[in-house]
């Protein structure tokens, strides 16, 4: 079955550590997105990628980095510069920017 | 800056009742999406509304869009327990192909 796989489901970060969240899709979608969700709030866009080897900052990109070397993969690195990383991170993909986005099951990141 | 407001943010209702969730947005847009999220889970696309007066229905849920009033509604008819979830609207700023601005979500609890 086609879908989006995020891993790990839970992740703990130590102070000063960079961590990478994985997102893989087999839907043949061109566009991929990373969102952050905090309790009681809507989703906020971190980065998005329209095609391979191209990505743009969203509203809250500071302290995060991404790469898009393959169509299927869009990993997100939460760097030590992100001072408040505790949140639920959702990866999504779509055929185009106007098509509905399909979401993975999310990664919950916490600080040790 | 485009802002999206949903109300109510929390709704507890009895099975069999009807209710409406509202999504207001602050600037011109030509696309609006409704999503459902179960606790701790991913988001599921419900409806895409693309033009003024658009109405979409799926089972007990019906969504509509009034672009002149900058308002979308999600109407629930004869609610059942399985519809308990958090419902989000997301609005695409005009001329934005990939970025969505999300409402804070409406947490809906339907009691037997």
**Which residues of B fall within a CB distance of 8 Å from A42?**
4, 88, 90, 101-105
What proportion of chain A, given as a percentage, has pLDDT over 90?
Answer: 82
What proportion of chain B, given as a percentage, has pLDDT over 70?
Answer: 100
**pLDDT, greater one: B51 or A78:** A78
How sure is the predictor about A1, in pLDDT bands with cuts at 50, 70 and 90?
low
Q: B residues 53-82 near A, CB within 8 Å?
A: none
pLDDT for A2 equals 73
| Order of strands, sheet of B4-7, starting from the edge strand that comes earlier in the sequence | B4-7, B19-25, B71-76, B61-66, B55-58
Which of A17, A50, A33 lies closest to A89, judged by CA? A33
Which has the minimum average pLDDT: A95-99, B3-7, B13-17?
A95-99
Query: Does A11 contact B at CB distance below 8 Å?
Result: no
CA distances to A98, B6, B71 from B96, rounded to whole Å, are: 9, 21, 19
Question: In this predicted model, what pLDDT tens digit does every residue of B41-87 receive, in sequence order?
Answer: 899 999 999 988 899 999 999 999 999 999 999 999 999 999 999 99
How sure is the predictor about B98, in pLDDT bands with cuts at 50, 70 and 90?
confident
pLDDT higher than 70, residue A91: yes
């Amino acid at each position: 079955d086609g879908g989006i796989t995020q891993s790990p489901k839970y992740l703990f970060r130590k102070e000063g550590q960079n961590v990478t969240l994985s997102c893989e899709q087999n839907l043949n979608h061109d566009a991929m997105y990373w969102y952050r969700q905090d309790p009681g709030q809507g989703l906020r866009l971190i980065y998005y990628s329209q095609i391979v080897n191209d990505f743009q900052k969203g509203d809250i990109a500071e302290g995060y980095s991404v790469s898009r070397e393959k169509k299927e993969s869009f990993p997100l690195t939460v760097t030590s510069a992100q001072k408040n990383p505790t949140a639920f991170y959702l990866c999504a993909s779509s055929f185009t920017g106007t098509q509905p986005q399909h979401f993975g099951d999310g990664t919950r990141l916490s600080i040790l | 800056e485009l802002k999206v407001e949903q109300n109510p943010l929390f709704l507890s209702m009895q099975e069999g009742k009807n209710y409406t969730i509202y999504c207001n947005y602050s600037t011109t847009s030509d696309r609006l999406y409704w999503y459902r999220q179960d606790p701790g889970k991913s988001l599921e696309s419900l409806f895409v509304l693309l033009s003024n007066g658009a109405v979409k229905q799926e089972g007990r849920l019906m969504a509509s869009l009034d672009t002149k009033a900058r308002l979308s509604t999600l109407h629930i008819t004869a609610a059942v327990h399985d519809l308990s979830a958090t419902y989000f609207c997301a609005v695409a700023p005009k001329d934005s192909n990939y970025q969505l601005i999300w409402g804070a979500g409406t947490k809906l609890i339907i009691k037997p």
